[in-house]
Structure 1
Amino acid sequence: MKFTAPVAKNETYEVTIQDLTYEGMGVAKIEDFPIFIENALVGEKVITLITKVKKNFAFGRVDKVLVESSDRVHGIEKAYTQTGITPLQHLKYPAQLKFKQHQVQVDFDKLKIPAEVNETIGMEDPFHYRNKAQIPVRNVNGLLSTGFYKKHSHEMIPLEDFKIQDERIDKAVLIVRDILRKFQLEAYDERNHTGVIRNIMVRVGKYSGEMMIVLVTRTKKLPSVEEITRQINEQIPGLTSLIQNINPEKTNVVLGKKNVLLSGVDRIHDQLMGLDFEISANSFYQVNPVQTEKLYQLAIDKAELTKDDVVIDAYSGIGTISLSVANSVKQVYGVEVVEDAVKDAETNAKINKIKNVKFVVNKAEEQMEKWQADGLKPDVVIVDPPRKGLAESLIKSVADMNPKRVVYVSCNPATLARDVKLFGDFGYHLNQPVQPVDQFPQTVHVESVSVLEKA
């Protein structure tokens, strides 16, 4: 018997929003059939227009709000919802923090893992926090423009204020855009793989104030390069670094392999956890330094480190966590798969005169097996994996090393819950509440710190 959905495309229905998805969409049900509705909040009664019907669910948009949530924010601009830059901007900030706490709790509950989740640690000012931007440059109505893509499309919406970026970055992007327009540079056309300027990347040191601008080009030659360089430096006084990055590939990866220094020096500095970090164009560096310090301090406090401890930092990046814990312990070992990041980490250790750290280039799971086979016995293991979480082999290697505790810094509650369950098979369990930290206000992403100990 063929199933017929209780809703039809282009028809309207009155519904009540029962929940939010992890992407921040409202969830309503008609005859137990879920409808996912953008820009709808829990408790609201809305008329929804159905935009797409699938076998097991449908998508809709709000046609009219009949009963409004007290958590709704008014006066939001459509462009930010269309591009997905700030998918939670219609939700008041205290409610965003509750939503993120709930998301973490839901993922543990789904796997029936007993876990208490604390309230999310938020920001005083949940806007203009990002210290890095990679802005696409495209031709819009015959004009070189900067902005962001409409969700699920290649159509760019021009923007001048990105809401969540450091305001110094927004200003710099507009200055560079206007100079490029003045010299009639051609914006990149991804369909035909033509044009010159692909992206403008800007990094700014939150505490140092140093700024780096990277012009990402498809071509080796940057027309009017000397004049453009001169004018950018005139209009952004004190600019630390101006770089041309050449990316001739047909790819959505922003940066190419070759950098050409146009003026200044090829890296900037910033401070984190009282340490000095050197940041190159290709470095990975946390984009919200205010919340990163809270996150790392939590990880350090929860690790309960002593001067005799040996610590492993898996996924060590440019050494931010490794170097932050080094002064509290006997020895730190860091592993990171990106070779350039390891070089940066070693440089940062030298800059800060830290000698009790050793960084290795390798996949974390392979290096943990090697260290375990070599008989390395860490007291504490800190993991800060990408969104896909930990490999099962890494969890087994960690358990075989038998550390006192494992501190898990997570950027994805679903893989965190899965990995905590796997650790449970080896006798490691949560010994305190999970602590979410809001690294990315106005978006659906949430970081957290968890501690696992052997029962």
Structure 2
Amino acid sequence: MAKIQAPVNKNEYYDVTFEDLTHEGAGVAKIDGFPIFVENALPDERGKIKVIKVKKGFAFGKLIELHEESKHRIEAPCPIYAQCGGCQLQHISYQGQLDFKKKQVEQVLSRIGKLDMTKVKVHDTLGMTEPWNYRNKAQVPIGEREGGLVAGFYQKRSHDIIDMERCLIQQSENDEIVQAIKNICEQYGIRAYNEEKHKGWLRHIMVRYGLVTGEMMVVFVTKTADFQHKQAIIENITSKYPQVKSIVQNINTKRTNVIFGDETNVLWGEEYIYDKIGDVKFAISARSFYQVNPEQTKVLYDKALEYAQLTGEESVIDAYCGIGTISLFLAQKAKNVFGVEIVPEAIEDAKRNAELNGITNADFAVGEAEVVIPEWYKQGNKADVIVVDPPRKGCDEALLKTILAMKPKRVVYVSCNPGTLARDLHILEQGGYETVEVQPVDMFPHTTHVEVIVKLVLKGTVD
């Protein structure tokens, strides 16, 4: 078979019109139907590009100059936006970001899910009034440069740390504490971890912040269990920042870019800090999965309650329940809720959170959702409503088969990955469910990520 020649060549220049964005936020131009992906370009813009890499079915280009700008183009407010890999959409107006995320969801539901989009209502993306300073957790890598410590996020497509004093999407309280700890550690001669040489000590500083309570947790992620000047550093932090209620050390001895190791020890204060979403209070440990945008989490969970249509008589299963965040919201309106989660520590947190809120109609089990829920079904247990909030890889096939066999009246699907969501919706629709409503929620402004919540009903039942 003859090799198909790409209609573009590396290092050559082309005038193009951009017609779309990739799910990573790059502009898409086409020459004779051949797609070229270009960072910092927006739909409806015209400009000159230089092709920098040609692959079998696509190419990458660099934007040289714009001839015509999009109405949604703005100046990114972050001074290190061009270097930092944390945000991808700051050069797009916020309304433009919300429109992009809705379109992204519609496209994957149609292309991957094969859904009839004339019958599926995709709502406008629910955004924030003030889409800045929303992240309640900072995980900041630490490095060294010219003898001093640097704290910041990684440069795009690298592990080079960009030193910074503030991040516009972080809670400002987190920024302040991270900088203070960096300076304190520098004062005591603490060495940063070097991942290439696998030497040094301080790998990451993590800070968690309770938006409602104002409580803070500091986590030192270190290569070894020793801690030089421990007492002095702790006293320095706690004397200046009384809102810090917990100081924790996590030890990660492995040569890996995974942040956390297996061992976690409380150095000072409590094991948990507390926060609230709506009327539900949560205990949050160093390793707990807790949504980083609590304001939008309330929006998301309110929508989950709306889609579940609970009257107080329903049995609900919450697959992938984590520390019980959605489960406890549902328990306020359901007869009973059964949550399942593979991480034992998360289930202990879920039980503690139920007790903390005086919720007695929620039970939690440790295990894989695709193993535990089919076993429940074999034992004759059924649910009126099933809520799934899986990881990015989506639901396991065994779980989807059990949902189809159990036939709950409604399924509420919460997803952080529109692609795997679309794949799973196709399976559920083939098995007798109808996708009724789809609500994108902007949990992560200025990034390409979008959370989606979907209401499905069993065909033949009254909605």
Q: Given the two structures, how large is their TM-score scaled by the length of structure 2?
A: 0.96
> How many angstroms apart in 2 are the aligned matches of 1:273 and 1:414?
30
Question: Counterparts of 1:235-246 in structure 2 under 5 Å?
Answer: 235-246=240-251
Q: 2:389 corresponds to which residue?
A: 384
> How many angstroms apart in 1 are the aligned matches of 2:38 and 2:273?
43
Contact 2:207 2:218 in 1 (8 A): yes
Matched, 1:444 2:448: yes
Q: 1:4 corresponds to which residue?
A: 5
> How many angstroms apart in 2 are the aligned matches of 1:232 and 1:262?
12
- 1:265-312 Cα deviation digits (max 9, x unpaired): 121000013111100111111111100111011010111112111000
> How many angstroms apart in 2 are the aligned matches of 1:131 and 1:26?
30
Q: 2:267 corresponds to which residue?
A: 262
- 1:122-149 Cα deviation digits (max 9, x unpaired): 0001111010011000113332100111
> How many angstroms apart in 1 are the aligned matches of 2:76 and 2:238?
36
Q: 1:374 corresponds to which residue?
A: 379
What is the one-letter code of the residue matched to 1:447?
E
> How many angstroms apart in 1 are the aligned matches of 2:265 and 2:378?
43
Q: What is the CA-CA distance between 1:29 and the residue it aligns to? A: 1.1
Q: 2:102 corresponds to which residue?
A: 101
Contact 1:175 1:235 in 2 (8 A): no
> How many angstroms apart in 2 are the aligned matches of 1:402 and 1:246?
45
Q: 1:350 corresponds to which residue?
A: 355
Contact 1:392 1:422 in 2 (8 A): no
- 1:155-210 Cα deviation digits (max 9, x unpaired): 22112221111010011111011111111211100011100100000000010000
SS state of the match for residue 248, structure 1?
Answer: coil
Contact 2:312 2:334 in 1 (8 A): yes
Query: Among 320, 324, 338, which residue is 1:319 paired with?
Result: 324
> How many angstroms apart in 2 are the aligned matches of 1:75 and 1:217?
34
> How many angstroms apart in 2 are the aligned matches of 1:80 and 1:148?
11
Query: Among 208, 211, 216, which residue is 1:211 paired with?
Result: 216
SS state of the match for residue 186, structure 2?
Answer: helix
- 1:2-57 Cα deviation digits (max 9, x unpaired): 33322222322211111111111000011221110000011111111222111211
What is the one-letter code of the residue matched to 2:114?
K
Q: 2:136 corresponds to which residue?
A: 131
Q: 1:160 corresponds to which residue?
A: 165
> How many angstroms apart in 2 are the aligned matches of 1:145 and 1:334?
41
Matched, 1:416 2:417: no
SS state of the match for residue 416, structure 1?
Answer: helix
Q: What is the CA-CA distance between 1:76 and the residue it aligns to? A: 4.2
Query: Among 331, 340, 343, which residue is 1:338 paired with?
Result: 343
> How many angstroms apart in 2 are the aligned matches of 1:327 and 1:34?
50
Q: 1:119 corresponds to which residue?
A: 124
Contact 1:48 1:61 in 2 (8 A): yes
Contact 1:50 1:58 in 2 (8 A): yes
> How many angstroms apart in 1 are the aligned matches of 2:3 and 2:355?
68
Unaligned runs of 5+ in 1: none
Contact 2:85 2:157 in 1 (8 A): no
Question: Runs of 4+ in structure 1 displaced over 4 angstroms?
Answer: 75-78
> How many angstroms apart in 2 are the aligned matches of 1:193 and 1:286?
31
> How many angstroms apart in 2 are the aligned matches of 1:117 and 1:224?
55
What is the one-letter code of the residue matched to 1:236?
Y
Are the structure 2 counterparts of residues 420 and 75 from structure 1 closer, same or farther at C-alpha, using a change threshold of 3 Å? Answer: closer
- 1:380-430 Cα deviation digits (max 9, x unpaired): 111111111111211110121121111111111111111111011221111
Contact 1:140 1:156 in 2 (8 A): no
Q: What is the CA-CA distance between 1:78 and the residue it aligns to? A: 6.2
> How many angstroms apart in 2 are the aligned matches of 1:48 and 1:97?
27
Query: Among 270, 285, 299, which residue is 2:290 paired with?
Result: 285
Contact 2:106 2:122 in 1 (8 A): yes
> How many angstroms apart in 2 are the aligned matches of 1:142 and 1:7?
46
Are the structure 2 counterparts of residues 339 and 441 from structure 1 closer, same or farther at C-alpha, using a change threshold of 3 Å? Answer: same
